[in-house]
Chain A
Amino acid sequence: MKAIDRFPKGIYLIDFEFHPVDHREGNPPRPVCLAVREYITGRVWRYWGDELQVMKEAPFPCGEGALTVAYFASAEMDCFIALGWELPLNLLDLYVEFRSRTNGQPTPYGGGLVGALKFYGFPTMESAQKDEMRLLVLSGGPWEAEDKKAIQDYCQSDVDAMRPLLRFLYSQIDWLRALHRGRYMKAVARMQSVGVPIDTDALRACIENWDVIKEKLIASIDSDFGVFEGQTFKASLWAAYLERNNIQWPRLDSGSLALDDETFRQQSKAFPQVAPIRELRSALSEMRLASLTVGCDGRNRCLLSPFASRTGRNQPSNSKFIFGPSVWMRSLIKPRPGFGVAYIDYAQQEFGIAAALSDDLAMQEAYRSGDPYLAFAKQAGAVPLHATKKTHASEREQFKACVLAVQYGMGAEALAQRIGQPVARARQLLELHRRTYPKFWRWSDATVDEAQLNGRLWTVFGWEIRPSHPFNPRSLRNFPMQANGAEMLRLACIYLTEAGIQVCAPVHDALMIESTLDVLDATVTEAQKLMAEASAAVLGGFELNSDVKIIRYPGRFMDERGELMWNKVMGLIEHANTKPLAECQG
């Protein structure tokens, strides 16, 4: 279909230049200028910030029959929200479409507009020149007339560059699904604008006392491990600790222990006893506290970086986002007076997705039981049908570990360590999984065949990966669960934000929402209903359950994995400090 027929009211390529209000990261954007180019006619409009501030709506059609196009559109939508404009009905994000087309393949020039243009061989501004202009915009002015013109020219150069890119991609675009992805970019902007409420007093106390408490923190946590020398984590001492505790640890091709945070993250799931060291290393490795981007209104806002990971999940900055890897810092989340927050996560999301998409009825029945781990043990004939979580706790733990091991692609040796049982028992459990859920395993095997023979996998709403050699069968096998999980959360974000619920942030398989205390419970019920609807839409009618944790002012959020560290930090601050922080204890 021709562009004019599909969008008779026009296709508007847009780009804003902006900087954060008061030049403080974490604050909403202040638009500096806007450039608009109509795709079909080529007509251009340019607006300076003071003109934009007085407009009540976007200066181009945003309703039915019109299309708005941007590159990394959530930033443009941030500006719409900052200006109080209605968001466009139809939004196409060329960044997302470029990511979708190249996911899994090398993109030597990066994923930005310049990278996409170079990838397809279009002429473009050099990155250095672009950086120079960005700095000029971020300086915040006031700008001389000449600088203003340079900024507007620069802004227009982006919409000019998008035109050939759109022309090139136009016929390849899967329009309905692309607009669905665009709809998510609007939800992203809404969530970025809300942000997460932070206890700024506690944050300040942490930052001010950090140097004093760092040493004591190491001493306090390392006393159980003995892996630090001074303030330095020693790989040799870590190796000795692992050997003492009979913990298998992934190694690099060189044979050295893998010591990156991702390895620690994965291993912490299998061996929770190593989690405090991960927390400590994470806290020490960067000045994470100061990196957290908190606006003047005490809210953590940062780019959620939608579609950045291969599975299509968001990938916000680890140090800027409160839900980064330092889970103890999440205790800084505290609702404002009169408000509450709720953390709602899908229950056993990966298991539920696997059950629904593989159409394994036994697995679906296990999910529907509300306790898939115990149900698996029953289905495998390992516990009687009347068994409960109480009467067969240890068996349930083993079957739970087995389900998680399958999800993480863990072998029998690692599972054996995790459950403290002989390898033979672990093998038996993994075998039971295969026997109990044969349809799931056939589908899972076929997923790897599909990726290797046809060169691609896709989600229910068309997010694709074209894996390049060498294939990693474990991640290919896991792709449908992770990537459809991402689809589900995206749809939930869309539903909730469009229903007017204040969504503070998406977190892997969970959402944090905020509301005034008087309607908090009703809002949570509505949010859970919408999340269930999103799961059913992704899974062809199969609904997933969700769990909820509600925090009412003056309570604070607490992630149990970080509770020990948080309490240690608070205790040390109180010891070292001038200012009592008893109210911060979890």
Chain B
Amino acid sequence: MSDLQPTPKFDVSTLRLPQNFGETLGVKKLITHIPVSKPGAERFFRAHPSVSMQFESLIYEDKSSRDVYVVLPALGDVLGRLAKPVVLYLAVDRRGNPFLIPVPLPGPNGSRNPWHESLAMAVEKSKTDWVRIAANMTAGVYDLFVASADLPPPEWPDMEMDAIVQTAFGGKIIDTIQHPVIQALQGKV
């Protein structure tokens, strides 16, 4: 005799439990560090297309420590050419790590040097495509490489631009003439 007893039609998928581990735990990656720099040659990146995720600012880069400071406009004259007017663009790499790309603004005559111009073009392109840049020393520009694969869209940090700037420059804002950086540049310390 067959042991086969017809099992009533039963949809086992109704037994499915969610596999959404961690969802109720609210464990979130806290972004505590946002570098301000040009992306490295191997790093594909995307810049946020929204104007709200750009920030015009004066910055000063300490070449020895590679620290980047925001400079209050009122102190721009004190630092002279050392304070550069830039637009900071929010960007992320393929792992979703955020960073700010400083793109120098054109000078009073409306032009930029080829390095800056090619960087600005790369950032513009990165608003719609995954790109990476590499310095071409012979040509004096950044070469632009666009990913040909159909890559997933970028994942943006869940933060407002104010908070991003705050995180990127926490403790690195030159807001007084007494600031140690200005003091050092004036040879007072």
Contact = CB atoms under 8 A, between A and B. Distances in A.
B25 A454 contact: yes
A461 B13 CA distance: 9
Interface residues of B, number: 30
For chain A, what secondary structure do more than half of its interface residues adopt (helix, strand, loop), or is it mixed? helix
Contacts of B152: 361-362, 436, 438
Given A381-B44, A537-B12, A443 B147 contact: no
A84 B13 CA distance: 31
Nearest to A353: B19
Interface string B89-100: 000011110000
B148 interface: yes
A434 interface: yes
A459 interface: yes
Contacts of B1: 56, 84-86
Nearest to A437: B152
Contacts of B139: none
A381 B151 contact: yes
A87 B5 contact: yes
A446 B96 contact: no
Interface residues of A, number: 54
Given A84-B1, A537-B13, A447 B21 contact: yes
A28 to B, nearest CB: 12
Interface in A395-446: 431, 434-436, 438, 443, 445-446
A84 B16 contact: no
Given A86-B5, A498-B7, A449 B17 contact: no
Interface in B56-89: none
B22 A89 contact: no
Interface in B92-117: 93-96
Nearest to A432: B94
A460 B14 CA distance: 10
Contacts of A56: 1
B158 interface: no
Interface in B1-39: 1-5, 7-8, 12-13, 15-17, 19, 21-23, 25, 27
A385 interface: yes
Contacts of A378: 149
Interface in A473-530: 480, 484, 491, 498, 500
Given A56-B1, A81-B3, A491 B94 contact: no
Contact of A380 (B3, B19, B22, B149): B149
A234 interface: no
B130 to A, nearest CB: 8
Nearest to A80: B3
B150 interface: yes
Interface string A237-270: 0000000000000000000000000000000000
A257 B24 CA distance: 42
Given A436-B94, A449-B22, A461-B16, A89 B151 contact: no
Interface string A43-73: 0000000000000100000111000000000
Interface in A452-484: 453-454, 457-462, 480, 484
Most buried by A among B7, B22, B96, B155: B22
Nearest to A454: B25
A385 B15 contact: no
Interface stretch (A149-157, A175-183, A202-210, A222-230): A175-183
A201 interface: no
A297 interface: no
B21, B27, B93, B151 — most chain A CB neighbours (10 Å): B21
A526 B167 CA distance: 59
Nearest to A365: B150
B151 A84 contact: no
26 contacts: A84-B3, A87-B4, A87-B5, A89-B7, A384-B148, A385-B149, A436-B152, A438-B155, A443-B22, A445-B22, A446-B23, A446-B25, A446-B27, A447-B21, A449-B22, A449-B25, A453-B25, A454-B25, A457-B21, A459-B17, A459-B19, A460-B16, A461-B15, A461-B17, A462-B15, A462-B17
Q: Which 6 residue pairs across A and B have the least CB separation, nearest first?
A: A446-B22, A435-B94, A450-B21, A84-B1, A357-B19, A447-B21
Interface of A: 56, 62-64, 80-81, 84-89, 176-177, 180, 183, 190, 357, 361-362, 378-381, 384-385, 431, 434-436, 438, 443, 445-447, 449-450, 453-454, 457-462, 480, 484, 491, 498, 500, 536-538, 540
Interface of B: 1-5, 7-8, 12-13, 15-17, 19, 21-23, 25, 27, 44, 93-96, 147-152, 155
Given A384-B148, A431-B95, A435-B95, 10 more contacts: A86-B4, A87-B3, A88-B5, A190-B3, A381-B44, A438-B95, A445-B22, A453-B25, A454-B25, A460-B15
